Amino acid sequence: MKKTACFTIALICALTAVAEDGSRLWLRYERVQKACVTGVECLAAKELRDYYDGERVRLELDTTMAQDAYRIEGVTITAKNEIGLLYGTYALLRGEKGYSAPQWPLRILNHWDNLDGSIERGYAGNSIFFHVPNTPTTLQKIRDYARANASIGINGSVLNNVNASAKMLSAGYIKLVKTYADILRPYGIKVYLSVNFASPMTLGKLKTADPLDPQVAAWWKAKAKEIYTEIPDFGGFLVKANSEGQPGPGDYHRTHAEGANMLADAVKPYGGIIMWRSFVYGANHKGEDRVKQAVSEFVNDDGKFRDNVILQSKNGPLDFQPREPYAPIFDTMQHTPQMAELQITQEYLGQSRHLVYLAPMWQEFFSFVKPSRLVGIAGVANIGLDTNWCGHHFSQANWYAFGRLAWNPNLTSEEIAKEWLAQTFSLSCSTAPGKALLAMMMRSREACVDYMMPLGLHHIFKFDHHYGPEPDGFKAEYPLEWCPVYYHQADTAGIGFNRNHTGTNATAQYAEPYRSLYDDVKTCPEEYLLWFHHLPWDYCMKDGATLWENMQAHYNRGVSEVEDFLRIWQEAKPYIDEQRWKETDERLHHQLDNAREWRKVCLDYFRTFAEKKK
């Protein structure tokens, strides 16, 4: 009898326990169903009834408040509309009080998801939208996705890859997008689509996609009407044009402004926008330093775009490197609305295999480009069908941090990490384990720079997949600007890319004081030194050691940091659930192996120049 009772209790516990597999992200609230919620009846009220541990909450509307803003006073949440009340609800659940309004109206995730269900530069499994579209499981996943985004204030999703298939605009896919839009809408999320500029030829069977051809413009206007008929609050289009083989207005000797404006006119009657990416380099810039090409490509179009066109630019002038100076296009385009594009998915930062907290990198960008100069922000999403959404449990922190910084870029990386740790692992940073994990997160980005590419080195990854080191990388069949040897310029005389006035003069694209600061080797910050200057191996650094000695020290420090992260994680074991501890531990061991590989491969290669006998 006693055995039976024990077995029954154990079985009940096993059936009712919620697995800590990361699927609940930072939304690990227990369903208490305790609160009495009065006032406005909406989705926020349901969330509060389910999860708020207090006894009473009142929801009120105040139409004079700013869009999306909320105020939490006592047990009352006030907002302009139901979406504001929802944002306020999640703020209350994480312990906030007072008034809060977002910095930008556009806080958008860019999904690089393909219609075959794969994800370009995705490291957490297949697409939540297209792998098995429109099934009950998929629809529930998208509801969970919407809730997670609403909890951190994200209000837009570009569902498909910027290397877009024209089929995305076919009638069947528009119906699918409508289904998803209906799920996302109650959570305040608009849908957007990436479009292929040649769609009128592929889908419409036109002979051209010339933006000044009346038939082309008419096709896009008809397509916009078709989309908005199905999805009245559709956000608009994201466009990658004349970049990496994608079609664009340049194919017809038209400008980016002429191409963007044609699309802008098509969506304008419905309140839609065009997000036009500045990631353009290659054919028209033969021999020009790649980091200068975006400015060269767009400077003559400044002020010529329609008012519903936004230029979307990556935070750095190259391509999401572990560290880049900010992109000078944010200085150049003074008469064109701009939004910054950040990468959450860690393409060049160890992907989902490395623990690298990205908020410090993004705050570094905002220290140069003031948020007030932007009208929105986009993040290349790290979300997939993996059970824990992001491949690595700590990669969830980057999704969370993007949303929080998109709402308030004045939050510190440390504040956001504390929030995330408290919600995700129930760890207070006032305790020793919490403090240790916070320190690990805060140090992780700098550690990644150290063991990959310190002192301004950049783009020395293996070809194509961008995982692991290949400083000797060169393929004659590739454009030189895709080859690692192009970027480090190592020889027996020294290392680094000369971009000051004696070299490619990329420094001239920056506004003062950075133009002069970066141009002069004596004032250039050491973290950007080899980005802007080619220097001898025995160049004397600020600490009195040589450049070569400093490089070795950085690589060694990066590896030592990951060794310490493993120690911290081992000591945290008693405070973390078994599955998430084990899975993170495995990733950290892999990260250490890869950091050691980076150190060995890079130092062995550069040593052939640095220590070559004269």
Active site residues: 244, 319, 347
38 membership: H or E segment, kind and range: strand 36-39
Question: In angstroms, what is the C-alpha Rg of the chain?
Answer: 25
Indicate the angle between helix axes 413-425 and 432-452, nearest 10 degrees.
120
482 conformational bin, left if phi > 0, alpha if psi -120 to 50, beta if neither? alpha
Q: DSSP letters of 284-329?
A: GGTTS-GGGHHHHHHGGGTT-S-TTEEEEEESSSSSS-SS-PPPTH
| Tokens 């659930």 sit on residue | 577
Going by C-alpha positions, the residue among 269, 329, 271, 273 that lies closest to residue 305 is 273
Q: What's the burial of 519, exposed, middle or buried (CB within 10 Å: 0-12/13-18/19+)?
A: buried
Going by C-alpha positions, the residue among 357, 461, 373 that lies closest to residue 412 is 357
175 — phi, psi (to 5°)? Answer: -60, -40
Displacement of CA 555 from its chain's centroid (Å): 26
The answer to whether 389 and 396 are in contact (CB under 8 A) is: yes
How far apart are alpha carbons 292 and 67 in whole angstroms?
Answer: 38
Going by C-alpha positions, the residue among 569, 562, 560 that lies closest to residue 436 is 569
How far apart are alpha carbons 132 and 115 in whole angstroms?
Answer: 10
Which long-range contacts link 285-290 to residues 24+ away (Cβ below 8 Å)? 288/504, 289/497, 289/499, 289/504, 289/506, 290/318, 290/481
Going by C-alpha positions, the residue among 503, 502, 507, 495 that lies closest to residue 457 is 495
The answer to whether 555 and 603 are in contact (CB under 8 A) is: yes
User: Coil, strand, or helix at residue 440?
Assistant: helix
DSSP state of 186: G
The CA-CA-CA angle for residues 222, 223, 224, to 5°, reads 90
Which residues lie below 8 Å from residue 278, measured CB to CB, with a gap of 6+?
294, 297, 298, 311, 312, 313, 314, 329
Displacement of CA 302 from its chain's centroid (Å): 26
